[in-house]
Amino acid sequence: MNDKNKATVAVDNIGDLRKAYSQFPTGVTVITCTDKDNNPIGVTASSFNTVSMDPPLVLWSVDKGALSAPIFNDAKHFAVNVLAENQMALSNKFAGRGTDKFADVNYSKGVGDSLLLEGAIAQFECKTWQVYEGGDHLIIVGEIIKHSIDSPQPPLVFSQGSYAAATTHPEMVNAK
Ligand SMILES: Cc1cc2nc3c(=O)[nH]c(=O)nc-3n(C[C@H](O)[C@H](O)[C@H](O)COP(=O)(O)O)c2cc1C
């Protein structure tokens, strides 16, 4: 068994590792909840992924250094807002640290006071299922209580360290 605290050769160069991770394209989400003083909390996250159909489970991971990490650790509910291609500015806003991220943002309340952002292409309202240790991140698994598809926009993509757009593969276009 590897000693979990011992750095392996893979992380000798963090920049290279980050670059290798970035070769895997993802969508972009804003994950939200309400803290114990009823303040709206949100963070841009590309680590979202699906886990299980039955029960319906999803996961994402939050950096332990993020201001919101202890809040999500304690939150009983959260919502995943999948961003549309035209929501890059919103993504940048929620990637800020300690700012008033909800100023000028239209949203409504979801399950357990999670927050649903207007214009998101899909929303998953979740009950926190389990929080796992994941090195310098917390892995947060949620059980979907409600889901919706809101907007017909294409998704916002994050790939190779940059925002991108999802287009139909040329071979698929020719196959039509
Ligand atoms: C496209 C993109 C994806 C991101 N994905 C994550 C993620 O999955 N987990 C995470 O902890 N931070 C992620 N971040 C960084 C956070 O959004 C950023 O650290 C934010 O400032 C955290 O906010 P807070 O400190 O107010 O909690 C991402 C940023 C961007 C731009």
Give yes or no for residue 72 having a pLDDT over 90: yes
Short-list 158, 146, 136, 165, CA closest to 58? 146
Cα of 52 vs centre of ligand 1, distance in Å, is 24
Short-list 155, 150, 131, 158, CA closest to 60? 131
Atom 4, ligand 1: which residue's CA is nearest? Answer: 45
Task: Tell me what pLDDT residue 1 has.
Answer: 42
% of the chain beyond a pLDDT of 90: 87
Atom 17, ligand 1: which residue's CA is nearest? Answer: 95
Atom 7, ligand 1: which residue's CA is nearest? Answer: 45
Determine the longest span between alpha carbons in the chain, in angstroms.
55
User: Is the shortest distance between the CB of 98 and ligand 1 below 6 Å?
Assistant: yes
Give yes or no for residue 29 having a pLDDT over 50: yes
Q: Categorize the per-residue pLDDT at 10 as very low, low, confident or very high, splitting at 50, 70 and 90.
A: low
Cα of 74 vs centre of ligand 1, distance in Å, is 18
> How remote is the C-alpha of 157 from its chain's centroid?
12
Atom 23, ligand 1: which residue's CA is nearest? Answer: 97
Task: Tell me what pLDDT residue 98 has.
Answer: 76
